A and B are shown apart, each in its own frame.
Chain A
Amino acid sequence: MAVQTADTAAPAAPAAGSPSLLGHAFKDALITGLIALGLFGPLIGFETVIIDGALGLAYRPSLLAIMVGIVFVGRLLLNLTLWSPNRRPSTRTGPSVFDRIGTAVGPGVKPALLAFAVVFPFLSTFLLGGLNESRYLIDLGILILTYVMLGWGLNIVVGLAGLLDLGYVAFYAVGAYTYALLATSAPINDFFAGLFGATFWANWAFWICLPMAGVFAGVWGMILGFPVLRLRGDYLAIVTLAFGEIIRLVLINWVDFTNGGAGIASIPRATFFGIPFNAGPDGFAALFGLPFNPMHRIVFLYFVILALALLTAFVTVRLRRLPVGRAWEALREDEIACRSLGINTTTTKLSAFATGAMFGGFAGCFFAVRAGFVSPESFTFDVSAMILAIVVLGGMGSQIGVAVAAAVMMGGMEMLRNLGFLKQIFGNDFDPSLYRMLIFGFAMVAIMVWKPRGLVSTRDPTIFLKERKAVSGDLVKEGHG
């Protein structure tokens, strides 16, 4: 028992094993250190530098030693503490701490978050002392809410129906281009100018195009879904990925129609149900007796996207309790059993695909009206990956989890831009924003290790007889395509 220093929590350690514990740990750490030396040697030990115009090698032995030292000491400490054979594994009974906290505060979270989302623009204005000062925060709020909505839309496809869709951005693009093309179309403008006056189309385009964007995206979802949905799992994922890219490439290359990579600019802005946000006598500010401020439009956009996101959530929650929603979830659980119960899996999958795509189209339309400019560059695979990450991180099928994940991911990514204080530690040459993605990646890995089923891993049943009991995530399947 002489060597048993690190682990006091295990009094009943096997006596025979303890004397060699330190030796073992040391040996293991040494081997790891050697592997690290072999790996880091070429990667860190050498640096290519330009000496007198020619490429030469510089050596960094001290940096290499530090790195190998970190690996060695870290491994040794882990061997002696966390991975020690004497450590008694904590036996878990019942729900984890997170789950218990979740159950305790659960009922209050949704109203609280909703209330916060509603008062957020006023709160930030009040705290920062003015509309103009709060512009950054409200813009960030709009960005987060856009991704909340996209996450909820994709959640229908991935979380409920269990169809892995890597090309969701395609529907976002369809929605955005629907609005951009229709709103800037001269023939439509002339047609309505003849009927209702010159400014009609500019003022009403968004409100007329919003439902159309959703419908078009939904139809596209069906068109893309029909040939694709006989595939399952990895194959489905790859084909949807390809469709996402195809849409983007068509947008770039069909220059006559989409103006190619240059994009479409000067798209009409959003109006307060026909009242433009301008300084003129018919503008929003003048009509409501407020001093003109361009921020009015931004705040209004914030509430538009909040309403759209809430619509998505409302429809999803309702659909889950309808036969179609239950069929989606049943499809995720077991497709063959679904077919044996008379469920047409093709139409059920298509309906999930189309519904998800429709909300993507709404979000796309909003994106176009907010930015006033669309180009294919906005619809790269990165966006699909980000939305999917939000859904997976939030917990597939969970509404509140996805909302929190979107806030954490988008808000967190923004916060990581403000790492200026690190310059004081690492010197002025250090550019913290370059490490943004690295930190982000580490955070993702950490969450997937601790909460592999996402932030909210339990499933809420859609109907109950006596008592609503959450279904443990271990029993819920992810679906296989």
Chain B
Amino acid sequence: MATSPATGLPRWEADPILIVEHLFMRFGGLIAVNDLSFKVGRGDITALIGPNGAGKTTVFNCITGFYKPSEGRLILAKGRAPTPDEIAEVTRIGERSLTGRDAGVYLLERMPDYLVSGEAHVARTFQNIRLFTGMTVLENLMVAQHNALMAASGYSLKGLFGLPGWTKAQRAATEKAKYWLDKVGLTDRADDPAGDLPYGAQRRLEIARAMCSEPILLCLDEPAAGLNPRESLELNTLLRAIRAEHGTSILLIEHDMSVVMEISDHVVVLDYGTKISDGTPEAVKNDPRVIAAYLGVDEDAIEEVEAELHTESSAPGASA
């Protein structure tokens, strides 16, 4: 299991790659995310689950820079877990990041969306697939390597004259795209428009495209939505392979419990913008608050649960 051998702590405590601290997101009077704190372990597959409207996608949008959080700190740790001093230092000096040779601390809430992907290397996919439908599968994967290729093409100057440095970079990028096409089983369709692919293949292509940007943290928003059971299984295999072969940590939102319980090392449960449970899949599965949030309970059960938890305010309202 995902525990650190040295300390016996779970990995997300011992070596977190992402630390979410007191995240608030307010839309006018609506509080979508309310004082959320959790950690994502390096090399873990972490699932963020919760009923519809719990604020999961809002958390994703905050992490990936599409929303600016109302309050809170989002720390991405590259290379190794940062010391509290390092975090305090980068927060104090007002910079977006503090990077050394093999480690770095990025404050994602200070970065615009394209830098979260381009500099901090956090890639994401979308709940409603966002491929470049009019471009071919291969082109989609080439666009994902934009920043690296842009530098290699001398910001278009070298590329315009077809200098060797550029053609070499382009060939390397094509090789990488081929590798990922192979990985998601789309090599035969490389030259077809992305919009022509069946739904499941589009989902896989979106993951491959995100991986082409060389992320250290991959955020997947409902990767199994709309997949049949066989495709869900293939997705599990793909995600495990990404983690094993590339060391990419994965944070995913998912409703399909067969995916969540099967592959995740760590599950965070959200309801009405607050965290109601956090732990291993087994622990979360048996948490009465999670069961209550998902299934709803009758009034007697609420009283029972309340008695059990010795809390008076955490149970959901009158009846579900």
A and B are interacting partners? yes
Q: Is the CB of B196 within 8 A of A475?
A: yes
B79, CB-defined interface residue at 8 Å: no
A308, CB-defined interface residue at 8 Å: no
Q: Is the CB of B150 within 8 A of A330?
A: no
Residues of B193-218 whose CB lies within 8 A of A:
193, 195-196, 209-210, 213
Q: Is the CB of A342 within 8 A of B130?
A: no
Chain B residues near A52 (CB, 8 Å)?
Answer: none
B272, CB-defined interface residue at 8 Å: no
Q: CB-CB contacts of B84-125 with A at 8 A, as 1s and 0s?
A: 000000000000000000000000000001110111000110
Q: Is the CB of A463 within 8 A of B138?
A: yes
Q: CB-CB contacts of B160-171 with A at 8 A, as 1s and 0s?
A: 101000000000
Q: Is the CB of A319 within 8 A of B132?
A: no
Interface residues on A, range: 35 or more
Q: Is the CB of B117 within 8 A of A341?
A: yes
Chain B residues near A324 (CB, 8 Å)?
Answer: 150, 153, 155-156
Instruction: Report the bound CA distance from A383 to B144 in whole Å.
Output: 38
CB of A465 to closest CB in B, whole Å: 4
A339-B66, A341-B144, A465-B138 known; A334+B131 contact, CB < 8 A: yes
Q: Is the CB of A342 within 8 A of B213?
A: yes
Q: Is the CB of B146 within 8 A of A327?
A: yes
Chain B residues near A330 (CB, 8 Å)?
Answer: 132, 135, 143, 146
Chain B residues near A344 (CB, 8 Å)?
Answer: 114, 118
B191, CB-defined interface residue at 8 Å: yes
Chain B residues near A339 (CB, 8 Å)?
Answer: 66, 113-114, 117
A256, CB-defined interface residue at 8 Å: no
A107, CB-defined interface residue at 8 Å: no
A342-B147, A344-B114, A465-B178 known; A336+B130 contact, CB < 8 A: yes
Q: Is the CB of B191 within 8 A of A465?
A: yes
Q: Is the CB of A463 within 8 A of B134?
A: no
Residues of A296-343 whose CB lies within 8 A of B:
315, 318-319, 321-324, 326-327, 329-330, 332-334, 336-343
Stretch at the interface among A108-116, A118-126, A366-374, A466-474: A466-474
Q: CB-CB contacts of B134-159 with A at 8 A, as 1s and 0s?
A: 11101100111111011001011001
Chain B residues near A18 (CB, 8 Å)?
Answer: none
B13, CB-defined interface residue at 8 Å: no
Q: Is the CB of A337 within 8 A of B132?
A: yes
Chain A residues near B138 (CB, 8 Å)?
Answer: 461, 463-465
Chain A residues near B118 (CB, 8 Å)?
Answer: 342-344
Residues of B176-204 whose CB lies within 8 A of A:
178, 187, 190-193, 195-196
Instruction: Report the bound CA distance from A334 to B143 in whole Å.
Output: 12
A224, CB-defined interface residue at 8 Å: no
Q: Within the complex, which residue of A342, A461, A467, A475 is in contact with B139, where a contact is CB–CB below 8 Å?
A: A461
A342-B117, A342-B213, A475-B134 known; A319+B156 contact, CB < 8 A: yes
A322-B156, A344-B114 known; A329+B132 contact, CB < 8 A: yes
Q: Is the CB of A323 within 8 A of B159?
A: yes
B3, CB-defined interface residue at 8 Å: no
Chain A residues near B162 (CB, 8 Å)?
Answer: 318
Of A315, A329, A461, A472, the most chain B CB neighbours within 10 A belong to A461
Instruction: Report the bound CA distance from A407 to B138 in whole Å.
Output: 34
Instruction: Report the bound CA distance from A463 to B196 in whole Å.
Output: 17
CB of A356 to closest CB in B, whole Å: 14
Q: CB-CB contacts of A334-367 with B at 8 A, as 1s and 0s?
A: 1011111111110000000000000000000000
Instruction: Report the bound CA distance from A297 to B26 in whole Å.
Output: 68
Q: Within the complex, which residue of A333, A336, A342, A466 is in contact with B134, where a contact is CB–CB below 8 Å?
A: A333
Q: Is the CB of B113 within 8 A of A322?
A: no
Q: Within the complex, which residue of A319, A338, A459, A463 is in contact with B160, where a contact is CB–CB below 8 Å?
A: A319
B126, CB-defined interface residue at 8 Å: yes
Chain B residues near A340 (CB, 8 Å)?
Answer: 64, 66, 113, 117, 123-124, 126, 130, 210
Instruction: Report the bound CA distance from A459 to B136 in whole Å.
Output: 10
Q: CB-CB contacts of A120-145 with B at 8 A, as 1s and 0s?
A: 00000000000000000000000000
B174, CB-defined interface residue at 8 Å: yes
Closest to B65 in A: A339
Of B124, B133, B150, the most chain A CB neighbours within 10 A belong to B150
Closest to A343 in B: B146
Instruction: Report the bound CA distance from A463 to B171 in whole Å.
Output: 11
Chain A residues near B209 (CB, 8 Å)?
Answer: 341
Instruction: Report the bound CA distance from A178 to B66 in whole Å.
Output: 42
Closest to A335 in B: B130
Q: Is the CB of A477 within 8 A of B134?
A: yes
A476, CB-defined interface residue at 8 Å: yes
A266, CB-defined interface residue at 8 Å: no
CB of A467 to closest CB in B, whole Å: 5
Chain B residues near A418 (CB, 8 Å)?
Answer: none
Q: Is the CB of A476 within 8 A of B134?
A: yes
Closest to A462 in B: B139
Q: Is the CB of A471 within 8 A of B136?
A: yes
Residues of B207-232 whose CB lies within 8 A of A:
209-210, 213
Query: Residues on B close to A: CB < 8 A?
Result: 64, 66, 113-115, 117-119, 123-124, 126, 130-136, 138-139, 142-147, 149-150, 153, 155-156, 159-160, 162, 174, 178, 187, 190-193, 195-196, 209-210, 213
Q: Return 17 A-B CB contacts under 8 Å, by A number.
A: A315-B160, A322-B159, A326-B135, A326-B146, A330-B146, A332-B134, A333-B134, A339-B117, A340-B113, A342-B118, A461-B138, A462-B142, A466-B190, A469-B191, A471-B193, A475-B134, A475-B196
Sorted nearest first, the 9 A-B pairs with minimum C-beta distance are A342-B118, A476-B134, A342-B117, A333-B132, A475-B195, A323-B149, A337-B130, A322-B159, A465-B190
Further pairs besides A326-B142, A340-B66: 17, Cβ < 8 Å: A318-B162, A319-B156, A322-B153, A323-B153, A326-B146, A332-B134, A336-B130, A341-B210, A342-B119, A343-B147, A465-B187, A465-B191, A469-B136, A469-B191, A471-B135, A475-B134, A477-B133
Query: Residues on A close to B: CB < 8 A?
Result: 315, 318-319, 321-324, 326-327, 329-330, 332-334, 336-345, 459, 461-469, 471-472, 475-477
